[in-house]
């Protein structure tokens, strides 16, 4: 008898059946992403507060920092910043040491999901290098802030592990842990607003 094929898809709350090995844009819904990310904990759940600090909350913070540092940037790149960790709604958030241990397999799955998500929301499959660097910078600032304010790192540890070029941006940023439902709603609303802004920015034919 042939070997039984392993299931590689997940049933989403929207009713979609998402194939993790061959994801397609048609099976991706913002409601599923917002819900999943709002319930995926950053830092393996090792954060202070009555609720986990979610990937959705982190993504909102990264987009806020990205926009603050790049106020003239087009809404399409703000959406790219907001969705920078979107694949984690199905594959979870792995801390860096675990990602390194898993190697290329995790990275390949992340990349396939990223491409499908970008196609679903009209983003380029390949983000320009200059934009990638700006998003990464905002991501690192967020990680530095999270490490000290909620993840138990000392300022010295965080400074060594998450070096950033603009220390001043940290001065008035504060993380507040919120219930997942509130974060889910804001994430979905933010995506919808940015999609609306992108549509409005398109030239009239």
Q: Note the pLDDT of residue 30.
A: 97
What are the per-10-residue average pLDDT scores of the chain (205 residues)? 64 93 94 97 94 97 97 96 96 75 77 96 95 97 96 96 90 93 98 96 70
pTM for the model:
0.91
Q: Does domain 28-198 have CATH number 3.90.550.10?
A: no
Q: Note the pLDDT of residue 1.
A: 47
Q: Note the pLDDT of residue 6.
A: 65
C-alpha distances out from residue 119 to 25, 125, 127, 182, 186, Å = 6, 7, 12, 27, 22
Q: Note the pLDDT of residue 103.
A: 66
Domain parsing of the chain, residue ranges: 28-198
Two structure tokens written together for 88: 């984690």
Sort 115 into a burial class: Cβ within 10 Å, 0-12 / 13-18 / 19+.
middle
Distance between CA 135 and CA 67 in Å, rounded? 10
3-state secondary structure the chain: CCCCCCCCEEECCCCCEEECCCCCHHHCCHHHHHHHHHCCEHHHHCCCCCCCCEHHHHHHHHHHHHHHHCCCCCHHHHHHHHCCCCCHHHHCCCCHHHHHHHCHHHHHHHHHHHHHHHHHCCCCCCCCHHHHHHHHHHHHHHHHHHHHHCCCCCHHHHHHHCCCCCHHHHCCCCCCCCCHHHHHHHHHHHHHHHHHHHHHHCCCC
Distance between CA 93 and CA 41 in Å, rounded? 7
């Amino acid at each position: 008898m042939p070997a039984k094929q392993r299931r590689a898809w997940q049933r989403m709350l929207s009713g979609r059946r998402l194939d993790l090995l061959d994801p397609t844009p048609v099976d991706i819904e913002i409601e599923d992403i917002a819900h999943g990310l709002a319930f995926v904990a950053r830092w393996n759940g090792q954060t202070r507060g009555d609720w986990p600090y979610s990937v959705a909350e982190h993504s909102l913070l990264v987009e806020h920092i990205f926009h603050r540092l790049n106020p003239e940037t087009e809404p399409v790149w703000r959406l790219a910043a907001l969705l920078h960790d979107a694949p984690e709604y199905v594959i979870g958030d792995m801390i860096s040491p675990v990602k390194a241990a898993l190697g290329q397999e995790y990275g390949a799955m992340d990349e396939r999901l990223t491409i499908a998500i970008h196609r679903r929301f009209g983003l380029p499959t390949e983000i320009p290098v200059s934009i990638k660097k700006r998003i990464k910078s905002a991501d690192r600032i967020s990680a530095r802030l999270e490490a000290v304010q909620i993840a138990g790192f000392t300022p010295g540890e965080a400074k060594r592990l998450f070096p950033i070029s603009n220390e001043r941006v940290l001065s008035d940023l504060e993380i507040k842990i919120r219930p997942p439902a509130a974060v889910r709603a804001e994430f979905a609303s933010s995506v919808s607003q940015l999609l609306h802004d992108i549509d409005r920015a398109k030239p009239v034919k």
